[in-house]
Copies of this chain bind each other. A is one copy, B any other.
Amino acid sequence: MCGIFAVWNAPKAAELTVMGLHVIQHRAIDYAGIVSSDGVNLYRECGKGVARDVFTSDKLNRLHGKSALGHIRYPTVSDDKTLDNIQPIMGIHGNRLIAIAHNGNLTNTEQLEEMIHTKFATSMDTECIPRLLEKHDTGHFERDIISVLVSLRGSFSLGILLPDKLIAIRDKTSNRPLSIGRAGESYFISSETCAFPNVGAEYVQDVEPGTIVTIGPQGIRTTLFAEADEKKCRFEVIYFSHPASVVFGEHAGHVRVRVGRMLEELYPAQEADIVVPIPDSGNLFALGFSKSGRSGKLSGAISRNHYVGRTFIAATQAGRDEEVSKKFIFSSEEIRGKSIVVVDDSLVRGTTLCAVISHLRRLHARAVHVRVGFPPVRHPCRYGVNTREYKELMASSLSVEEIRARIGADSLEFLPLEALKKLSPEPEKFCYACITGDYW
């Protein structure tokens, strides 16, 4: 779970990069890093936290130049205390520094490490790329990076900054998104298209599967390095991307409304009074679900608390869930005596849903029906989404009926895989491994 945003040839490149990372901040909130270029040197700054907090004006002042490559990420290891693992990571090619940012996950790292025979400075799979590049260094970047790319397995969307070039790469499966935007003579790379409006840019194209896009003083050039073999992540459009993004050609917001509508057609809840999304993940699914008017009307009985801050554990008399209490505000008057359809995008660990339902019961809901906009997630993702271990996935060991009993719902329905495929433009070009376990 990572995000990339980069700027080529724009004044205040580092600030624009922060603005871009801020818009895709939902992809990862733990670390942020930016490398900038003034055409000759590279400058690197990074830190722990969200982009707008990490990049103080002090740090921005040190990020000289008109181009910049930014990255946000989750920790690889849960208790990673060092800052070694913040991206972009640095490498050397042709006696010059380069910076690499990676979204995705390599699946043949053991084999790659054997090819390298050197100690690693970080614990990230990404480090294989600069290390291999050093082995293949002939001084000609495009040729050398292709030699490296063909040895990689798994998913990788990459941004690479050289002193005088910005490069975007997507592997042949195009499992992770990566798009290009433009504003006059300035170019932008982003994991999601929703970041372009806020930096004044317009969406131009996606980086095509198996291609390298090189942006430099001579303009933009595309090179194919592998035949497309698409396995686009179906979870991106449902859960991970921002609803304002166009992901793999689909508008994420529209898809979610359509899923909500289909869910209601398949599994109506005719005795329900109100349809309540888990905000904000369930909002658009609930909007679609309530469209027909048959299964209750849309309600904001649960709203999201916009103020964050440290969490502490209050062992209070009522045994309330502190996390839910921190994140949500409940309207007792809306809930009391009602039959409620709770709608969410997906069910992974199930802890939030469980706590929300128990909260609704305590506030005297008459009945609680649950509708989920994605099939049960039964298998961990190996391609860059942190969907947890098997033991943390509620659906890996429980049937739908057992889940319903565990979370305390009166009824529970998931969008079936067939329905999901029917909603997909070219269903065979997507990855469903987290549903089926069919890894590639």
Residues of A within 8 A of B (CB): 10-12, 15-16, 18-19, 22-23, 25-26, 29, 38-41, 43, 49-53, 55-58, 60-62, 64, 81-84, 92, 95-97, 118-119, 121, 134, 137, 183-184, 186, 193-194, 196-200, 202-203, 242-244, 246, 251, 253, 280, 283-284, 287, 298, 300-301, 303-312, 314-318, 320, 322, 325-326, 329-334, 359, 362-363
| Contact between chains at B22 and A316 (CB < 8 Å) | no
Task: Report the 9 A-B pairs with minimum CB-CB distance, sorted nearest first.
Answer: A52-B309, A200-B318, A244-B331, A15-B314, A25-B307, A41-B121, A197-B330, A53-B309, A198-B325
| B-side contacts of A26, CB under 8 Å | 306-307
| B-side contacts of A330, CB under 8 Å | 194, 197-198, 244
Partner of A15 from B52, B200, B298, B316 at Cβ < 8 Å? B316
| B-side contacts of A316, CB under 8 Å | 10-12, 15-16, 199-200
Kindly state the separation between the CA atoms of A404 and B119 in the bound complex, as whole angstroms: 51
| Contact between chains at B97 and A92 (CB < 8 Å) | yes
Kindly state the separation between the CA atoms of A306 and B307 in the bound complex, as whole angstroms: 9
| Contact between chains at A52 and B10 (CB < 8 Å) | no
| Contact between chains at A246 and B15 (CB < 8 Å) | no
Kindly state the separation between the CA atoms of A380 and B11 in the bound complex, as whole angstroms: 40
19 chain-A/chain-B pairs, Cβ below 8 angstroms: A11-B317, A15-B316, A16-B314, A16-B316, A18-B312, A19-B325, A51-B307, A52-B310, A58-B83, A60-B312, A95-B137, A184-B317, A197-B332, A200-B316, A200-B318, A243-B331, A244-B303, A244-B333, A246-B333
| Contact between chains at A61 and B81 (CB < 8 Å) | yes
Kindly state the separation between the CA atoms of A134 and B332 in the bound complex, as whole angstroms: 41
A307 CB, nearest partner CB in chain B, Å: 4
Q: Which of A196, A200, A332 has the most CB of B within 10 A?
A: A332
| Contact between chains at A82 and B97 (CB < 8 Å) | no
| B-side contacts of A331, CB under 8 Å | 194, 243-244, 251, 253
| B-side contacts of A309, CB under 8 Å | 22, 49-53
| B-side contacts of A56, CB under 8 Å | 310
| B-side contacts of A61, CB under 8 Å | 81-82
A240 CB, nearest partner CB in chain B, Å: 15
| Contact between chains at B119 and A22 (CB < 8 Å) | no
A96 and chain B: residue at smallest CB distance: B92
A205 CB, nearest partner CB in chain B, Å: 14
A364 CB, nearest partner CB in chain B, Å: 10
| B-side contacts of A38, CB under 8 Å | 119
A-B contact sample (10 more), CB < 8 A, given A50-B308, A62-B84: A15-B314, A19-B322, A22-B326, A51-B307, A52-B312, A52-B326, A200-B317, A200-B362, A244-B332, A283-B300
Question: Given the known A-B contacts A62-B84, A306-B306, are A329 and B25 also in contact in the complex, defined by CB atoms under 8 Å?
Answer: no
| B-side contacts of A57, CB under 8 Å | 312
| B-side contacts of A23, CB under 8 Å | 305, 329
Kindly state the separation between the CA atoms of A67 and B252 in the bound complex, as whole angstroms: 48
A242 and chain B: residue at smallest CB distance: B329
Kindly state the separation between the CA atoms of A315 and B246 in the bound complex, as whole angstroms: 28
| B-side contacts of A311, CB under 8 Å | 52
Partner of A12 from B203, B243, B315, B333 at Cβ < 8 Å? B315
